[in-house]
Amino acid sequence: MNKAVLIANPVSGNGKAKKAAEVSASILKEKQFEVSIEYTEYAGHATLLSKKFSNEFDIIIAVGGDGTVNEVATGLVDSQSILGIIPTGSGNGLARHLKIPMNTVKAAECIAQKKLIPLDAPTINGKYFFCTAGVGFDAHISHVFAKMDGRGLKNYIKAILKEYGSYISAHYQLHLDGKDAGKKQAFVMTVGNAAQYGNEAFIAPSAKVGDQQLEITMLPAPNLLRGLSWGIRLFLKSIDKDASVSTFSGKNIIINSTEKSVNGHRDGEPDTWEYPLVFNVKEQIKVIGNSDN
């Protein structure tokens, strides 16, 4: 029951994952775990590795940011293996939601305690996400950020400041659990499985990862006052209390538009989807964490 493999993304967190994998392996060995380390060689590789290892190992540990966690967790849907996370990304939204320590030694000790939490595995047009997914300004930034030379929080903020003034809000038609929820103009339309983007920025404060429900947060066209208020409220866990913000929840969300396709993001990584966008939550896996839901 204590056979674990660490799947580490060597490029995550500007190269922090290799050291983190080695440190975690030695901590887990001290706690009588049988441990192996594998490194990803390209984007998408972690899903193939976790699928393959799910037959052999009880715990499959993602060492990386939310992108790596997404790939490893995707490989575990339909398996009995448990997901572990050693966070080394710049945002670490799912790890933070689950109250997994950001310190590698403490994160490895948290895995050794094996507190299991049910984790929904929602999909957007058939592709899994575990933290947040959506369209709008945040998705636009994930596409801009992916083309930048460096990663990390500093570059992310640079991209936000550069793009904020010129991004135009789009119109979306929303259906929630089979009911027409109207036409919306949105600057950001985020679907949360977990409550935060990462870095303790709470975009869907009421989201719980195992409740088989998705929480939508919709920000309308911004102005300076709204932008400032959202910036503060994101970190105070109160974006849903802002008078300009709308929230919805559902299991089956359909977003339509007069456009053919849209740039979106899944767990902070850029993705492109054809309309209609169909969000569903049915499946579940188990993750080791420190929170209750």
Binding site for ligand ATP (CB under 6 A): 9-13, 40-45, 64-68, 71, 89-92, 151, 198, 268-269
Nearer to ligand ATP, 91 or 222 (CB): 91
Contact 249, 218 (CB under 8 A): no
Is beta strand 252-256 parallel, antiparallel or unpaired with respect to 277-288? antiparallel
Cα 148 from Cα 138, distance rounded (Å): 15
Residue 212 Cβ vs ligand ATP, minimum distance, rounded to whole Å: 25
Nearest C-alpha neighbor of 62 from the set 287, 290, 292, 291: 287
- With CA atoms as reference, report the closest residue to 283 among 67, 1, 75: 75
Q: Which residues contact 56 (CB under 8 A, 6 or more apart)?
A: 3, 5
> Which CB sits closer to ligand ATP, 67 or 122?
67
Question: Which residue, 65 or 122, is less far from ligand ATP as judged by CB?
Answer: 65
Q: Tell whether omega for the bond before 276 is within 30 degrees of 0, i.e. cis.
A: yes
Cα 9 from Cα 192, distance rounded (Å)? 24
H or E stretch at 165: none
- Tokens 């080695």 -> residue: 22
- DSSP assignments along 132-194, one per residue: EEEEEHHHHHHHHHHTSS--HHHHHHHHHHHHTTT---EEEEEEETTEEEEEEEESEEEEESS
Query: Residue 42 or 168: which CB sits closer to ligand ATP?
Result: 42
Least separation in angstroms between CB 79 and ligand ATP: 20
- Cα separations (Å) of 141 from 85, 246, 264? 25, 21, 10
* Smaller CB separation from ligand ATP, 40 or 229: 40
Q: Which is nearer to ligand ATP, 44 or 276 (by Cβ)?
A: 44
Instruction: Return the number of the residue (163 or 242) whose C-beta is nearest ligand ATP.
Output: 163
Angle, vertex CA 269, rays to CA 266 and CA 272, nearest 5: 70
Residue 26: CB minimum distance to ligand ATP, A: 22
Task: Provide the minimum distance between the beta carbon of 225 and ligand ATP in the complex, in angstroms, as a whole number.
Answer: 29
* Shortest spacing between CB 43 and ligand ATP, in angstroms: 3
The CB-nearest residue to ligand ATP is 65
Closest distance to ligand ATP from the beta carbon of 76 (Å): 16
Q: How far is the CB of 1 from ligand ATP (least distance, A)?
A: 27
